Amino acid sequence: MNIKAYGALAAEQPLKPLDIIRRAPSAYDVQIDIAYCGVCHSDVHQVRSEWAGTLYPCVPGHEIVGRVSALGGQVSGLQIGDLVGVGCIVDSCQSCADCGDGLENYCDHMVGTYNGPTSDSPGHTLGGYSQQIVVHERYVLRIRHPESQLAAVAPLLCAGITTYSPLRHWQVGPGQKVGVVGIGGLGHMGLKLAHAMGAHVVAFTTSESKRDAAKALGADEVVVSRNADEMAAHAKSFDFILNTVAAPHDLNAFLVLLKRDGTMTLVGAPATPHPSPQVFSLITKRRSLAGSMIGGIPETQEMLDFCASHGIVADIEMIRADEVNTAYERMIKGDVKYRFVIDCASLTA
């Protein structure tokens, strides 16, 4: 089916209206009419080919929510009209150990929601800045929040799971001191989730203007990371730090805040590498530096249900599709509280 979308034809071009084709649903497919799609910093990295290898036309968007509008004959457990979500994954091999463990995010053949290989036109996947998407049922999530919160649920599909998964893996909970570095789309979800898990949460921001706001999001303390005295006051005190920063920076400044056996996990994926950390920042307290990528499908459903039962959604600013180029510039400047979400009804306006 021909549908409206918003995307770019080249790295140096702005996004613009495009017509794209979605496949007709086959036996295990779910066709979704997209209501809203969040704007992730990864969309900017990809559409501008900052990570290299972007295929054009590029239609970004992997924080997708909407309603089921058609079902393949073999799909079970979903009805037309159900509220559903699609995150960063639309396919995987379904037979490797990672897929068997429900960690499709680490499958060597994971297909991303955009820029991934597919036999559909035009030969690579096209994301959620569009009216509709067709996805195998395995990768479709159930949304149990009230419908009135649907737009603010969209960012959970990437920002939510990318922060939830490492917080769970490193067993964050009561009695622990946890830092979240970079209070953007991912970071603001990290604050909400770590707070709901019962940790003592410290926000690290470069933006003085976020000092009060970060407390409202769930931080017990806020550190402006440009202030050396504020940083030094937290030396050797953290069990876990989640680093969401989208730009290269000095990791030592945060590693030395970990106590013995503490871990800092990187989820931010800057286009150019961080300066290599000093070995003495690690060996002196047996500290670990780790990474984590989104999360698997079962854990994404677990995160959505955790958020529904704790009343957690993202703080969003709704935009029309034709405002997305401006939204990118504002996000790069840190001028977003805390996630832009596209109203996909604007694609036809």
Shortest Å distance, C-beta 338 to ligand NAP: 7
- From residue 299 to residue 318, the character string flagging contacts with ligand NAP as x (rule: CB under 6 A) and all else as - is --------------------
* Candidate ranges 113-121, 238-246, 253-261, 341-349; the one touching ligand NAP (CB under 6 A): 238-246
Range in contact with ligand NAP (rule: CB under 6 A) among 70-78, 124-132, 268-276, 282-290: 268-276
**Closest CB to ligand NAP among 24 and 332?**
332
Name the segment binding ligand NAP (CB under 6 A); options: 120-128, 180-188, 254-262, 311-319: 180-188
> With contact defined as beta carbons under 8 Å apart, do 313 and 306 qualify?
no
Choose the contact partner of 41 out of ligand NAP, Zn ion, none; CB within 5 to 8 A by kind.
ligand NAP
> ∠ CA(107), CA(110), CA(111), 5° rounding?
180
> What is the rounded CA–CA span in Å between residue 135 and residue 112?
11
Q: How far apart are CA 146 and CA 156, in angstroms?
A: 14
Residue 272: Cβ within 10 Å count:
7
Beta bridge partner(s), residue 289: 264
Indicate the residue among 58 and 68 with the shorter CB distance to ligand NAP: 58
Alpha carbon distances (Å) from 61 to 6, 119, 140, 171, 268: 10, 19, 15, 30, 17
How far apart CA 164 and CA 236 sit, in angstroms, is: 24
Instruction: Tell me the CB-side half-sphere exposure of residue 264, using CA atoms within 13 A.
Output: 28
Q: How far is the CB of 42 from Zn ion (least distance, A)?
A: 4
Residues in touch with Zn ion (CB under 5 A): 40, 42, 158
Q: For ligand NAP, give the closer residue by CB, 147 or 329.
A: 329
Tell which positions 103-122 bind ligand NAP, by CB under 6 A.
Answer: none
Q: What is the DSSP letter of 43?
A: H
What SS3 state is found at 51? coil
334 lines the binding site for ligand NAP (CB under 6 A): yes
Rounded to whole angstroms, how far apart are CA atoms 336 and 331? 6
Single out the residue of 72, 118, 270, 345 in contact with ligand NAP (rule: CB under 6 A).
270
For tokens 């019962």, the residue is 198
Which residues, 130 to 169, sit near ligand NAP by CB under 6 A?
A: 158, 162
Ranked by CB distance to Zn ion, the top (closest) residue is 40
Residues that bind ligand NAP (CB under 6 A): 40-42, 45, 158, 162, 182-187, 205-207, 210, 244-247, 249, 267-270, 293-294, 331, 334
